[in-house]
Structure 1
């Protein structure tokens, strides 16, 4: 798994159902930009807010619509192993190519239990497993040595690192390159803002939430980096960093970071005509008209409107 793998937003109808037609248009928008894979039911997909029926609809819709053009990874994110395994089986039935799994959360989890969790999911599941390092949400950091150990066992096919710990990411990248017992192990950064530096370190790709809004930009950035054109890669990264400021238009006195960030992505997709409705799932707070106008200004400055 290499290249640009956007975590696909989940369009909703005004009555909080999955908007299948908008989701299909979003997939076409991403595939048409030249992305290398799709990741559904991650943080940018609002997986934490969606009931199981919505999750199944998302995976089934995207796999069916992609029709084998690109690999599709599905988030199997839940509090503990048995619930995660239910999601893995549903993703396998839908035809997903792999699953993305966090450490267990809510309970106070010991490192030995995190290790057992990934081994159980890999052993009893039916799909390759990508670990999702997301300590801001699951309240535990995946140790680089554990990631490499699980990779050597064949329990992990790759890592999506959204930890913000660049030193730990570097340890995994260098460790994976130095070892002969982790062939094909993919290291993907989840940071929209440091893609050029991650690729320079040797990361295999990027999973950018902002890639929903500007997939062409991330495809260009990846291609510049792979060609060794670091000057162009840096310029494209800086343009995307400016565009990413749209996630801060929401008033922090009345909404959280998820409402602001995901609301901005969906507002941008609505302004671009990709999705019909910018609604985010409850209990997130919607952007105001003035905040949506600010999203539009960021997009215009980036050349997207």
Structure 2
């Protein structure tokens, strides 16, 4: 089973580049976005977890969308992360993103207040009603403290603009059930599940690791589409050591990604130590790129 791919297959959860003094680096964002697209990314997701959205201002988020859209043109999917703990603020960011040139929204579950499922559903419907843009729900309970329940997803699937899910719930069984019963496009948000989720009908992935190895991340899906599942598995295994170091080493993915790209993070995040950066670099070099 393969569902529609409203935002393509291979999406990068793009970093937000900063200058050495901590300011938004729009030229750097343009260069990085253009590079990612040239290296096989179908779409870019801005101002998500990897994009350090908690530490960028509303104005910076809009400027980033405009700069990336300018760099990649109109044929590339550009999704803007607009989710906050406040429904009102999320609606404001969604409208701002639409005006800035985004053609999709990434909306995370409201966090900290731990709303019950009826409130989670109402939040997503309110945001989806606020613009004409398609919405990708972001299910990441490890950060928000609240799961988007299976029944909630089944109900939300009837909304004409709620078309996709970024799946970081680590519940392959639950995700498979929703894929089988709805038209929602499921995008893996966990690199180790990119290929397994794709194999059960997922649409693709939204990957942090794609910031540094975009072609290597999409290669297993390309092989799977050609019917060569053995090659898909082999290619998937090649990237696992680096993915594990970047995403499961105790450091945030933003920190490990920026260590490899040589870009600063904003506080409260701190850069990787020289020893940590050296370990990451060795794993990258082992890929022979």
Aligned residue in 2 for 1:291: 276
What is the alpha-carbon distance in structure 1 between the residues aligned to residue 230 and residue 285 of structure 2?
23
Deviation of residue 111 (structure 1)? Answer: 1.1
Aligned residue in 2 for 1:267: 259
What is the alpha-carbon distance in structure 1 between the residues aligned to residue 75 and residue 211 of structure 2?
18
Asked whether the 8 Å contact 1:104–1:138 carries over to 2, the reply is yes
What is the alpha-carbon distance in structure 1 between the residues aligned to residue 114 and residue 15 of structure 2?
30
What is the alpha-carbon distance in structure 2 between the residues aligned to residue 173 and residue 19 of structure 1?
38
Pick one of 282, 296, 299 that aligns with 2:267: 282
Matched, 1:210 2:209: yes
Once the two structures are superposed, residues 140-166 of structure 1 have per-residue CA deviations (whole angstroms, 9 ceiling, x without a partner) of 111122212211232511111111111
Aligned residue in 2 for 1:3: 9
Deviation of residue 244 (structure 1)? Answer: 1.3
What secondary structure is seen at the aligned counterpart in 2 of 1:5?
strand
Aligned residue in 2 for 1:227: 226
What is the alpha-carbon distance in structure 1 between the residues aligned to residue 106 and residue 241 of structure 2?
29
What is the alpha-carbon distance in structure 1 between the residues aligned to residue 258 and residue 115 of structure 2?
34
What secondary structure is seen at the aligned counterpart in 1 of 2:152?
helix
Matched, 1:153 2:156: no
Asked whether the 8 Å contact 1:129–1:157 carries over to 2, the reply is yes
Alpha-carbon RMSD across the aligned residues, in angstroms, is: 1.6
Pick one of 124, 129, 132 that aligns with 1:126: 132
What's the TM-score, normalizing by structure 1? Answer: 0.88
Asked whether the 8 Å contact 2:114–2:146 carries over to 1, the reply is no
Once the two structures are superposed, residues 234-268 of structure 1 have per-residue CA deviations (whole angstroms, 9 ceiling, x without a partner) of 11111111111332797x5xxxx32xx32211121
What's the TM-score, normalizing by structure 2? Answer: 0.93
Structure 1 unaligned blocks of 5 or more: 177-181, 271-277
Aligned residue in 1 for 2:69: 63
Number of aligned residue pairs: give it: 283
